[in-house]
Structure 1
């Protein structure tokens, strides 16, 4: 944690340097209308209206990163046919560095052609040849990655579609190189043998791929997915497993048993092609951009939702996420009325009746700084609504000393209510929030710092407790000390000047 999401979207993304290697493809689409049956055979006649070609496979991962304005380099193999020429032109115009893309003579470009009528997919034609990377190609890919590491690299995405580029030897070599250089590695896997992915920081299978890896069926429930993730951790040395679960959203299981969930947003789905590529790209960008896991899951889920709402493979754009962010956290409080506990409790009940999750956190929030804002944004990401409990002036004096607070309670409330991520702010006069929690009864209680869950006061009034670390280097005390030091320095300089006069 420690990064504003809007700052990440507007500024950080364009500074990230991410390499992608894997099975690159071309996705072609034929759009038309079906109004009759062929007289030659009992098949529909599709009157073609237009065609388009976009990047697919590992190249779609790179396209997602490029349209997010990241600096991206791509490696893989292509053929020397017409589709390969189309692929190369698209890569060039997408501003993707492609020195790692090797041309195989007398080979076809892996291409998926989809025929659609009235936006419904009627047929898919696959043009492909399975050929493992040669020793010479592997050597080139290793030198390609080494050059990017030396030039400066933030992350490596390995996108495996089992078309032959990522042999076990090459995959392990690339992972070891990246880890030795301190670079995060994310793998989008395929197949049943995940030994070649060992050492990766993140692996992003869908639920079907998890089942194939373990060799048994898995129900799409939280319990089954988490257990499957732990089973994979026992078999393979991978730090985090991020499972994409279709309408159930995303679940991430860390090797120490910590679990994060982010539910999908209900919406119309036109095409799931490339959604996994979008998740891999956005989540990796979030991790190397120093967002929290929770924030990374949320952005990945939102991006995947946008991608599947489009017809055909669609790489997410930076503008898509910025627009969502501005709408998601549009200012929620349009008046300065100080709400009572009962008024806020009624709001919370209405939100919960609508199936929405309410998050609560509390604090003094005296001299609000960057650390406070990032903390509140992160807390808000855990649910649909954020309510903040604010210590009264009297309770702040008891907790912090007679010189505090610096900002009076009504001003602190007004400031917090003006934040886009905050739905409501309420005052409480006690030193701890148990009493206000007993009235409000939110769903999630968030505490900052290094608490243990069983130490958190008021936990009996909520469904769950989340512990969130504070941003290092930011505190009200440090800010006050800095202001005092500046004042003292100015005072000394003034006294020195007066003596000279």
Structure 2
């Protein structure tokens, strides 16, 4: 079902979504060059400039991401009547973005960020800006503009706050109030230390620095610390969800009810994080607007971010790139009967894949009575690479770990069920209580564990390149299924 939902989203729903972006619009300028010597005038590098480009930045970059996803995009903000205001207007026109909500103020300096790059690495940034809040009549113009867009039909709203003055308390609370009355989801990319103006938002998406600034202390980039900080902010503010972008640790979503979704980072190489948060906002909000689940929306957003950080400069992801990613995720092999392989035979297959430059993901477990939680966990693990191998506990090891009554399903039957899943490449059965000896032979690239583990506590971590922790779907377990059946038998229902 997840496959058909994502196919439908990427091919049919996404190009028809209508999304409004409200926030601080900017122009991003890039000076590209090459550094080969030090200046004789001062101990600084000399950058021999090859070319200069301009791109949409800030809230306009969010709009650009949405436009490249082929949504219909409506943008509101503030710009000046200066040179860069003209550049901004042309960039919006070229990107097919409706900029009718961008207020033009005489004498105002259009916010511009100029980045100097040498050999694809950012060396220096120069900011040209004038931080000023909207006048009361401008606030009302913007809110009236939003009302008109909603009357024409909107599917979602992104508030992109860079602290430049557009998102006053009146505008922020007004936008959220209007959206809630219309039943339209709102995602906020926040700024500052007081987030009360975002009360009522469906999703607020801070990075690690922003959540630390707001809560008043440095939050460690570890799962438990992030969740604890998020729950404290949930007590302070009225958001449905906090979605924390955690750099190399990926993204974690924490609901007001305490429910947690996590997705690890996917980028293999990082050149520039400029605009990555904007990409996350665009990809996630469109997925939510299309009625995809939080878990699936998170996977799509995180994968999109993995694409843009591997590029230089502010880079809006294209729908074609998401489609390409999806075709990589979606298994294209025909179903084949389960073939029992020894650990040595499995190691040989893994070496062949790795020699072809393909990433091999490994996870392990008992998988006694396969259920929804298992499936979602395995699908998420499979998205981390090209091949997913499962280490399956034998009947004997399950008996030792789970008790005399387990397993309910014999090992070969469990292996057949798992190998029939489209996201699984191979299943290898092991008899030990832990997969340490198996991992010492297989040596995959990524080891995935589910639950509340810390990476440095995972058994077998020394045999892989990295460890990823994926949270289990709450409310699903083999034990719960067994308890439910037992209770039904006791009541005479079965």
**Coarse TM-score class (shorter-chain normalised):** 0.7 to 0.9
**Maintained 8 Å contact 1:341/1:439:** no
Other structure's SS at 2:321 match: helix
1:329 is displaced (CA, Å) by 2.4
Q: Which residue of 1 aligns with 2:137?
A: 136
Q: Which residue of 2 aligns with 1:339?
A: 339
Other structure's SS at 1:339 match: coil
List per-residue Cα deviations over 1:415-474 (Å, max 9, x = no partner): x96874343589xxxxxxxxx9x999996699999757751349xxxxxxxxxxxxxxxx
Aligned equivalents of 1:77, 1:227: Cα separation in 2: 36
Other structure's SS at 1:75 match: strand
1:338-487 residue pairs with structure 2 within 5 A? Answer: 338-340=338-340, 356-357=362-363, 380-383=379-382, 385=388, 420-423=422-425, 454-457=479-482
**Maintained 8 Å contact 2:219/2:226:** yes
**Maintained 8 Å contact 1:23/1:163:** yes
Aligned equivalents of 1:377, 1:263: Cα separation in 2: 14
Q: Which residue of 1 aligns with 2:113?
A: 112
List per-residue Cα deviations over 1:301-341 (Å, max 9, x = no partner): 1111111100101011111111111112243x567343349
1:448/1:276 CA distance change after superposition, 3 Å: closer
1:64 is displaced (CA, Å) by 0.6
Aligned equivalents of 2:30, 2:133: Cα separation in 1: 27
**Maintained 8 Å contact 1:201/1:239:** yes
1:20-419 residue pairs with structure 2 within 5 A? Answer: 20-331=21-332, 333=333, 336-340=336-340, 356-357=362-363, 380-383=379-382, 385=388
1:263/1:439 CA distance change after superposition, 3 Å: closer
Other structure's SS at 2:281 match: helix
**Maintained 8 Å contact 1:344/1:424:** no
**Maintained 8 Å contact 1:130/1:163:** yes
1:20 is displaced (CA, Å) by 0.4
Q: Which residue of 1 aligns with 2:462?
A: none
List per-residue Cα deviations over 1:355-396 (Å, max 9, x = no partner): 63358878899xxxxxx9x9967851255538799xxxxxxx
Other structure's SS at 2:56 match: strand
Aligned equivalents of 1:449, 1:219: Cα separation in 2: 24
List per-residue Cα deviations over 1:203-249 (Å, max 9, x = no partner): 00001100000000111100100101101101001010000000000
1:119 is displaced (CA, Å) by 1.5
1:150/1:361 CA distance change after superposition, 3 Å: farther
1:220/1:443 CA distance change after superposition, 3 Å: closer
List per-residue Cα deviations over 1:165-214 (Å, max 9, x = no partner): 00011100110110011010100001100000110000000011000000
Aligned length: 420
List per-residue Cα deviations over 1:104-163 (Å, max 9, x = no partner): 111211000001111122211100001101111111111111011111111110000000
- Deviation larger for 227-236 or 114-123: 114-123
1:93/1:300 CA distance change after superposition, 3 Å: same
1:268 is displaced (CA, Å) by 1.2
